[in-house]
């Protein structure tokens, strides 16, 4: 039991250090490419921080652990939105988000979320065809952001630039993304061992321990972004990671092999994931800003969800 605990702490240390440097280099890349904070958060940063979820769910699918595969994706969305974005909005509500980027991301999220719910409700499984549709959605998502970036927000480019060149910043971004990945693996693997020794069921492990563990890169990135004054980058990271959880974390393993989805995932995890996304995003469409009360509501929902999952 001692070794898993020590490795768990090592993973946490790697994530904390890697997250700090990851944000620094993401901001440099954003400035060099003339991208807005929310745009770079929803693309470059979210792809890097979603890598742990992709590996965990793909490995789980090959091992026949469908509860972990689907539970990790939806659990991560709930954790990203209710816990991570909740903390962000509670301490520093986002303002002045890139409307095109925000609308594109949120619109696609709800489109594919409703699509997946319908598939799970009527078939009880996620087939290879569904997985291929989700991967096609990822291509559409990426092309859409390329078009938005081409239309151009010079928000970041107008700011003071660093001495670091774009190629060097990209290499450092990849390096620290790998550090986040390794740290998350140490956390998830050893956190799961600890949870199993405590007698926690597989689905509960997936939607709480594993989901929280694989979402730690997003958590560290968001908190670091807040401390460095880039609140919208953290928000974009959460929104992008949520959509990638649907398109890649579910899409990749299901494209390889179809798998069944548990009843609790379809009728509890999916509705909760959509509900917290509504709480997070609706104020931005109405008032174009976030609120501390909104963050508090999200944190309370997450606490209630975790208590319900364990009970």
Segment of 15-29, 179-193, 278-292 carrying the highest mean pLDDT: 278-292
**pTM score:** 0.76
- Condensed to tens digits (0 to 9), the pLDDT of residues 104-122 reads 999 999 999 999 999 999 9
CA 9 to chain centre: 22
- Condensed to tens digits (0 to 9), the pLDDT of residues 92-105 reads 888 877 788 889 99
Q: Rounded to whole angstroms, how far apart are CA atoms 84 and 104?
A: 21
Q: CATH no. for residue 85?
A: 1.20.1420.30
Q: Rounded to whole angstroms, how far apart are CA atoms 180 and 44?
A: 14
- Condensed to tens digits (0 to 9), the pLDDT of residues 147-179 reads 776 655 444 444 444 567 778 888 888 888 788
- Condensed to tens digits (0 to 9), the pLDDT of residues 257-310 reads 888 888 888 999 999 999 999 999 999 998 888 899 999 999 999 999 988 887
How many structural domains compose the chain? Answer: 1
φ, ψ for residue 126 (rounded to 5)? Answer: -115, 110
Per-residue pLDDT for 63 more than 70? no
Buried b (16+ CB within 10 A) or exposed e, 285-303: eeeeebeeebbebbbebbe
φ, ψ for residue 125 (rounded to 5)? Answer: -140, 165
- Condensed to tens digits (0 to 9), the pLDDT of residues 200-209 reads 666 676 666 6
Task: Output the CA–CA distances (angstroms, integers) from residue 160 to 30, 43, 166, 212, in the order listed.
Answer: 12, 22, 14, 35
Burial class (CB in 10 A: 0-12, 13-18, 19+), 191: buried
- Condensed to tens digits (0 to 9), the pLDDT of residues 212-266 reads 766 777 777 777 777 777 667 778 888 888 998 899 889 988 888 888 888 888 9
Report the mean per-residue pLDDT for the chain.
80
Domain limits for position 183: 2-310
Residue 118: its pLDDT value, please?
96
């Amino acid at each position: 039991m001692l070794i898993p605990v020590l490795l768990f702490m090592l993973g946490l240390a790697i994530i904390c250090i890697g997250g700090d440097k990851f944000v620094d280099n993401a901001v440099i890349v954003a400035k060099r490419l003339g991208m807005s904070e929310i745009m770079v958060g929803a693309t470059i940063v979210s792809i890097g921080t979603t890598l742990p979820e992709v590996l965990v769910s793909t490995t789980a699918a090959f091992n026949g652990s469908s509860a972990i595969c689907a539970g990790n994706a939806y659990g991560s969305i709930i954790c990203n939105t209710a816990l991570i974005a909740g903390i962000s909005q509670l301490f520093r509500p986002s303002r002045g988000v890139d409307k095109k980027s925000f609308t594109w991301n949120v619109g696609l999220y709800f489109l594919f979320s409703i699509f997946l719910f319908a598939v799970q409700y009527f078939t009880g499984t996620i087939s290879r065809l569904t997985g291929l549709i989700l991967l096609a959605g990822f291509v559409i998502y990426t092309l859409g952001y390329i078009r938005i970036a081409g239309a151009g927000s010079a928000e970041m480019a107008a700011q003071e630039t660093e001495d670091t060149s774009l190629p060097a910043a990209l290499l450092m971004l990849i390096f620290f993304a790998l550090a986040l990945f390794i740290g998350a693996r140490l956390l998830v693997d050893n956190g799961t061992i600890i949870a199993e020794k405590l007698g926690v069921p597989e689905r509960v492990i997936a939607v709480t321990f594993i989901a929280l563990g694989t979402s730690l890169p997003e958590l560290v990135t968001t908190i670091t972004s807040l401390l460095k004054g880039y609140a919208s980058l953290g928000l974009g990271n959460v929104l992008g990671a949520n959509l990638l959880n649907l398109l890649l974390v579910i899409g990749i393993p299901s494209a390889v092999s179809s798998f069944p989805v548990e009843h609790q995932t379809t009728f509890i995890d999916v509705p909760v994931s959509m509900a917290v996304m509504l709480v997070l995003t609706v104020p931005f469409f109405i008032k174009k800003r976030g609120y501390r009360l909104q963050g508090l509501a999200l944190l309370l929902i997450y606490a209630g969800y975790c208590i319900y999952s364990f009970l």
